[in-house]
Structure 1
Amino acid sequence: MKLFKLLLFFILFNISSCYKPVQKPADFDEFWKTSVSELGNEIEVRTIKDTVLGSKELSLKAIESYQDITIYAWVSIPKKPGKYPVFINFFGFGKGNPNKDEPSKKWFLSQKDHINIVVDIRGQGLSTDKIKFKGYLTKGLEDKNTFIYKGAYLDAVKIVDYAHTIPEGDGNIIVKGGSQGGALAIAATALNPKVTMCISNFPFLTDMLNYDKTKWPMKIWIHEAKMKEWKLEELHETLSYFDALNFADNINVPVFMRTQETDTITPKETTVKLFNSIKNKNKNIYIDPCDGHGCSSSSKEANNLEHAFIKKNLISF
């Protein structure tokens, strides 16, 4: 009898997958407008550590974010007095580097003539005081208001707000990242008008409703839904509020994207679809002929194109 009930459940679950999901919820923009308002305007920052990295002053900052979660960021500012563009780098999916003595991405933080920020969103790297990385993908999955990526995207908004307060900033705020970092860059750009340029590489969480149901990450989400006996429609509805594709209408700044010919985690087709959905014509995309998630990161051609795009689109205030 138990086996029969289990088989019946899987059959019904699969039948429900025949429905045609709505890609973008009708209240998507209102949901995020309300969510951003929950962040408030106050910027609470504490300096944890001050040090030096080459020609730059380096500090570790603790920043209060959504739901009183503390996020951490390494910030490097040129010692030479002046005004500089601010670059924010978001990590991809993973635990990050929970080391308060040794910053991650030194190559990025040490870049000259820039202010650079490497941020750990909630549950990642140093920002695990209250939220651990284990089980990240399914934390709060039952509802759009509790899903981990609501807070993660709002962390991205908050770090942009902080970047805007740096006295040495020249007004340019460029957000960038690959994979999950690419999705965070998209969300930050769509939700925070202070962003002036977006570099989003092979962005994760894009066109999720068309992800392969037999592979990570959709396989994980479907398994969780089956275990909790949620309808597939409910799962898809929750995910749709965090799909990078649905933020495209609200992106009005220069955008550079890269991807790779073959990628089973963020397929080329999803990146191209997102790129085409962005109405701003000041955009560029490069597809590297390599195979593997994120392999375009080492593409010299992509790097050269990205650097040229950034240089061309920096704003003189």
Structure 2
Amino acid sequence: MKLYQAFLLSILTVIVVSCKPNEDSKPPDFDDYWIQAVNQLNESPINEEIIKDSIVNDKEWTLYKINSYNNVYIYAWVSKPLSQGKFPIKIRFSGMSKSRTLSDGIPNTWFLKEGNIINMLVDIRGQGLSSKQLNVTNYLTEGLSSKDTYIFKGAYLDAIRTVDFISTNSKSDGNIIVTGGGQGGSLSMVAAALNPKVTMCVIGFPFFSDIDRYDKKQWPMSVFMYYCKKSETDYFELIDRLSYFDMLYFAEKIKVPIFVRANERDNITPIEGVKKFFSLIKSNEKEMYVEPCEGHGCSSNSKKANELEHLFIQANMLSS
């Protein structure tokens, strides 16, 4: 009898293990998938258009309309110094909760006012001004029936396209820094991983970091769980699709200097996932600062993090 019970237990163990996805399982075609995606992006011309041009605080501010993946147009503000010389470029991607309005008026933002820097503030597809063409109700699950139609495929490619666009600026000194927090951090990581023109990555608490470990009762995973129920999608199948957009698998492709700020207690981007992807980054110049605070983005105004970030940028600038 005991032998029979042991046999049943072993069978049940095999069944449970076989139904559980492999931990930290990178999709076997992950690299090929993104190589092909970037190739598809490069098949379409940039075709930029100037929408608005103004002079603000000794800088020229220009609103551009830029053609991106699948002929979706995205919008970006660029401010560059009026003075002669060459300057570093800094591209900022917004977090999901920081989407701006549809107004194309001059934005009142500290980022575009920075001196001696060419700044670029980007609205990816479905965000801010770029929602004029693609207006999305449920961003997290838009097109999620397939990895090829998922909105974040286009969003990641938008990040790559903006780097290609701004890299040809006549006042560039060769430095291209990508930055942002939350979703903006993820977009920056992807740009650094897949576009060799990026020279530095400075991010905060990036979204989609070790997705399968997210609390299923908390946003954003609660949204995905509801999607599974509503669409009758198997959870493991969903995680397989999302794995193509997980920061864990972009991390090893980042070879440029990278600074990461994180929050000790973050219910949206858990610190465990941030530490995991940070350990996978191959760059010889990487630094992470964890602010002892609670809440997503709570390190944004950290004086210590700001000081360390500034020192890191200065230490890793390419000499002109």
116-125 vs 206-215, which moves further: 206-215
Residue 298 of structure 1 aligns to a residue whose secondary structure is coil
Residue 130 of structure 2 aligns to a residue whose secondary structure is coil
**Contact preservation (8 Å) 1:70, 1:129:** no
Q: For each residue in 1:224-251, what CA deviation from the matched residue of structure 2 results, as whole angstroms up to 9, or x when unmatched?
A: 1121111112101100000011101111
Quote the offset at 1:53 in angstroms.
1.6
1:53 aligned partner: 56
> 1:39 is matched with which residue: 22, 38, 41?
41
What is the rounded CA distance, in whole Å, between the counterparts of 1:74 and 1:207 in structure 2? 32
Give yes or no for the alignment of 1:275 onto 2:254.
no
Q: Where in structure 1 do 4 or more consecutive aligned residues deviate above 4 Å?
A: 15-18
What is the rounded CA distance, in whole Å, between the counterparts of 1:214 and 1:170 in structure 2? 47
Quote the offset at 1:18 in angstroms.
5.3
Give yes or no for the alignment of 1:191 onto 2:201.
no
Quote the offset at 1:150 in angstroms.
0.0
Q: TM-score w.r.t. structure 1 length?
A: 0.92
Quote the offset at 1:17 in angstroms.
11
2:245 aligned partner: 242
Amino acid at match of 2:221: M
1:217 aligned partner: 220
Quote the offset at 1:161 in angstroms.
0.3
Residue 300 of structure 2 aligns to a residue whose secondary structure is helix
Give yes or no for the alignment of 1:96 onto 2:110.
no
Structure with greater Cα Rg:
2
Structure-2 change in CA distance of 1:96 and 1:17 (3 Å): farther
Quote the offset at 1:43 in angstroms.
2.3
2:4 aligned partner: none
Task: Count the aligned residue pairs.
Answer: 302
Give yes or no for the alignment of 1:65 onto 2:46.
no
Give yes or no for the alignment of 1:164 onto 2:143.
no
Unaligned runs of 5+ in 1: 1-14
What is the rounded CA distance, in whole Å, between the counterparts of 1:162 and 1:71 in structure 2? 12
Quote the offset at 1:133 in angstroms.
3.5
What is the rounded CA distance, in whole Å, between the counterparts of 2:21 and 2:274 in structure 1? 22
**Contact preservation (8 Å) 1:23, 1:209:** no
Unaligned runs of 5+ in 2: 1-15
1:254 aligned partner: 257
**Contact preservation (8 Å) 2:102, 2:132:** no
Q: TM-score w.r.t. structure 2 length?
A: 0.91
Quote the offset at 1:62 in angstroms.
0.4
2:26 aligned partner: 24
What is the rounded CA distance, in whole Å, between the counterparts of 1:208 and 1:256 in structure 2? 21
Quote the offset at 1:16 in angstroms.
10
Q: RMSD across aligned C-alpha pairs, in angstroms?
A: 1.5
Amino acid at match of 2:64: K
63-72 vs 15-24, which moves further: 15-24
**Contact preservation (8 Å) 1:83, 1:168:** yes
**Contact preservation (8 Å) 2:254, 2:281:** yes
**Contact preservation (8 Å) 1:23, 1:246:** no
Q: For each residue in 1:132-158, what CA deviation from the matched residue of structure 2 results, as whole angstroms up to 9, or x when unmatched?
A: 142100001111000010000000000
What is the rounded CA distance, in whole Å, between the counterparts of 1:154 and 1:31 in structure 2? 12
What is the rounded CA distance, in whole Å, between the counterparts of 1:16 and 1:38 in structure 2? 38
Quote the offset at 1:23 in angstroms.
2.5
